[in-house]
Amino acid sequence: MTIDMHAHWNPPALIEPFRRRATPPLIETNGDGVEVLRTNRGETPVAEMFDDVETRLAEMDRQGVSTAVLSLFGMHQWIERLPAAESVPLCRIYNDHVSEICAANDGRFAAYASLPQADMVAAVAEFERAINLPGMIGAVVPGNAFLTRPDAEAYRPLLAAANAHKAMLFIHWGPTPGDSWPRTPPGTDNFARRMGTIDMQQSLSADMVTLCMTDILDDYPDALVHIHNLGGNIPFEVERMDHRSLLDTPDEPLPSARMSSKPGLYMDCNSFGAQAIEMGVRLYGADKILFGTDGTEFGADWSAKAVAEADIGEDARNAILHDNAARALSHLATFAALSEAAE
């Protein structure tokens, strides 16, 4: 049984709303006569940009994934950064759509809500509405919201809402409204590697310092937090952080101890290999790591192979693949057994 906590979804429910829009994100026919989804980051043919439930279920069966936790795919996440008057109805369409998928498929899916990020009052209101829909376990929030302690202050209302419902916030690399994005200038050599790995991992590492080495989570003991890609580079950098701490602030607890001290904080292992997972288990503990794939067959094959090859023992392997997510979230969602999923 495997629960995929990081399974992005391209929602067909947004096709018609995007066709009616005059500014990105929108669907239009380009100069070559191809219907495309146009966002602030370019255009992609519509034929490549929207998912089908039956296709995804067949992929999950091949992968051995019993439940996938859906979250909005990156190019569509621009709906979260629009002015609230535009963002709220689009987020509602998406949230209702994924909840309907959850309700119709007997534990095969759970979902994170998308929220209008430009207006915190509206974001909390949509969180409160969405968390009561079938299958919803929490919501996605942008990684830039937690780069520093002052950044995180603005998200206290959502942390409080998650705390009240014992729900999970999925911190995913990305901008808050108004941020300059991407931070790697287009046209830079090795743009995809610099943006999608170096910048992403550095940003997630900064999020982890905020989450673990400040008191921002202390007022929300029942809130759950999920951050992807092993929380950035922390498993590889923590020894350096400890060394500097001993030199610079010897009276403070070591960063390595603080990185494993937040009970509701989880890291997924999306896109990493066996050695990285082993380092993550040594630092955080196997009970803090979740399975994730990005919602692709390639990602599922890669992540499953990495967990299988990691020298962590069967108990830790089972915890990562299934038990941690089921234990943390069973009060909010139903998770299918693999035997049931394959029927």
Q: Write the CATH number for 196.
A: 3.20.20.140
Domain that residue 147 falls in: 3-8+60-341
Q: Mind listing the pLDDT tens digit for each residue in 219-246?
A: 999 999 999 999 999 999 999 999 999 9
SS3 267: strand
Q: What was the pLDDT predicted at 338?
A: 54
Its pTM stands at 0.95
Across the chain, mean pLDDT equals 95
In a domain, 94, yes or no: yes
Q: Mind listing the pLDDT tens digit for each residue in 291-312?
A: 999 999 899 999 999 999 999 9
Q: What was the pLDDT predicted at 343?
A: 47
What is the rounded CA–CA span in Å between residue 171 and residue 188?
27
pLDDT at 183 over 70: yes
Tokens of 173: 């690399």
In a domain, 140, yes or no: yes
**Which residue, chain included where needed, has tokens 């790591």?**
289
In a domain, 214, yes or no: yes
Number of domains in the chain: 1
| DSSP bridge partners of 168 | 138, 224
Q: Mind listing the pLDDT tens digit for each residue in 265-286?
A: 999 999 999 999 999 999 999 9
In a domain, 191, yes or no: yes
In a domain, 277, yes or no: yes
In a domain, 176, yes or no: yes
**Can you tell me the mean pLDDT for 167-182?**
94
What is the rounded CA–CA span in Å between residue 269 and residue 288?
10
In a domain, 181, yes or no: yes
Percentage above 70 pLDDT, the chain? 98
Burial 241-272 (b: 16+ CB within 10 A, else e): beeebeeeeeeeebbbebbbebebbbbbbbbb
In a domain, 29, yes or no: no
